[in-house]
Chains A and B, each alone.
Chain A
Amino acid sequence: KAGVTQTPRYLIKTRGQQVTLSCSPISGHRSVSWYQQTPGQGLQFLFEYFSETQRNKGNFPGRFSGRQFSNSRSEMNVSTLELGDSALYLCASSPATGDETQYFGPGTRLLVL
């Protein structure tokens, strides 16, 4: 099976712009989660989706949003980018059928200038 894929892998934006990141889970996986990784804060949970429903959301401002499609693919959007949004954004998928192992993608590295 193919692993979790994330696009794009690298992105450079300027302050005030918005960005959309995409995640395709492993085939058959219905749960998708997003995490932000920075040197200062480490790995922080953004949100989790299962069957197009957000089941949990982390402590991030409303500028961060996400959604999941019927084929389990997910997107996250960050509006009005700030310098502090520069980070590695990681997506993880899980079968959510009793086996809750999280499989992570390679991440999207976002640089905000």
Chain B
Amino acid sequence: KQEVTQIPAALSVPEGENLVLNCSFTDSAIYNLQWFRQDPGKGLTSLLLIQSSQREQTSGRLNASLDKSSGRSTLYIAASQPGDSATYLCAVEDDYKLSFGAGTTVTVRA
């Protein structure tokens, strides 16, 4: 059974600081890995998807890396802003289903 772990569970940083969010998974036989953002009481917004054959993906201030052999992914958010405050979820896809981590709740202080 796939287990996905996210560290840290919560993070509070001043505006402008770079964010580093970690995700690990136990079974490397994944199809892809996806990072999501969730605002309180809302649905999930897809941020980045990394195919299993890829090492990283970038979108604006976001960069995600994937090391499938070691079962790890890292999401970097450059120059954080108060609007980045949310819960960030990592999910790995296999056999048409996503297995999610518990998330990292980020607070960016103005």
Contact = CB atoms under 8 A, between A and B. Distances in A.
A45 B103 contact: no
A75 interface: no
Given A43-B89, A55-B96, A56-B96, A101 B46 contact: yes
For the residues of B in contact with A, the DSSP-based class is strand
B43 A105 contact: yes
A107 interface: yes
Chain A, interface size: which category?
A: 20 to 34
Contacts of B100: 35, 42-44
For the residues of A in contact with B, the DSSP-based class is strand
19 contacts: A33-B96, A33-B97, A42-B100, A42-B102, A43-B91, A43-B98, A44-B100, A45-B97, A50-B96, A58-B97, A90-B43, A90-B44, A102-B93, A102-B98, A104-B36, A104-B43, A104-B44, A104-B46, A109-B41
